[in-house]
Structure 1
């Protein structure tokens, strides 16, 4: 396949870099266009499978799969520019929050093959969680090929588009909540005498290990927590204080705020 990226910023660039090695193994070619020409040239120099293009139209014409990595407010300008090059054999992939499949169909046509994804920033270290939605025109074989791009940068799951707001709350925005938790642990450790660099390692590795325990066990998350809490011990003391202060309710309220904002943004 020829996989084109329009926009190679933080997220688009992370997906491109994450897929580059897999592309080389599969014989895929990666094309890229970015308004900052130096970005495209740098990626072209870094990866043998990457070739820069000089415009959105040129990239769309030359690609089988076009991944739109631009901001949501740019879609109304971008989609008319590439519409003439988007034949029914091509697949358009959008990662923009608030931009629905129906909105894209309104510009490109209801018969076009459109996939919507919602990745998150850990794509930069190959640990993204990517939700993938498709319209009725994307057959299973085509979907499987595109799905493989996002499996190469972490984990991917197909969901109905109606769940995309929930996805934003649970994975799209949640790295920020997790960074807050890690930062609080670091600050507390520093306050108790640990060097910041050491505190960062202790806090972040503990979160990484806990996440792996959740993913690699059939034990419920609640039971994993209970298993750490020895009666009368230090952990149960901390957990009780967190419950008392509304820790879990605060997370749920933040989640809900992200979901509601996503609904307001959607066009």
Structure 2
């Protein structure tokens, strides 16, 4: 099969066209947020929030309200719980994060198994972008718009907050507000990623593009551009590969992103393994 046929074949089907551009949009949003996650050192927090939103998503479905509302409540609630437990016990933060997100994730699995509905546990955990409904597409577009606009408007404040929160506080920035803005965007983006790669793999889309760009760039603006380009291209390529291999779309997207990171890790001109040796 030549390259042209390889590219055109999936475009003959409407569901594949939807899957391609929705995957690209989610890849763009997750990559933009991932730059701030990397600078803040929130990889484990991203994992916690992405898993903790599961019971909120299920309850929102049962109550017939937007999934983003349930995800937001449980995403913020998980961080509040982490902070409360850490401040009132001698357990370290990483241990508390593991306890909270696994507990909430397990609660979500229990709810999915008990609620009689059309909610498919496999689709929630691993995504179902090939069968995404029009309503979910609209929700994804709204979440993407909110996230990108917020990041653009608060870019400088968020960069300073991620680099040096103490200095940000000393010059009068409301660091608590920025903390919860970033957390809220993380919770919302987890819902968008749920439609594409599922709750289990969305953390990869929230971390890998930023980590890749971090190896390639020393300036944040370039880092963001490289991360978003990597996120979009990886999402498109992963969707194409999933079509031709008849494999999991979310899994293929994350595998492609991981391969891109490995290439950057080895061949990055300044911070790659080869350049260092």
Would the TM-score normalized by the shorter structure come out above 0.5?
Answer: no
- Greater fraction of residues in strand: 1
TM-score range, shorter chain: under 0.3
Name the larger-Rg structure.
1
TM-score (norm 2): 0.27
Q: Larger RCO: Structure 1 or Structure 2 (Cα < 8 Å, ≥ 6 residues apart)?
A: 2
TM-score (norm 1): 0.28
- Greater fraction of residues in helix: 2
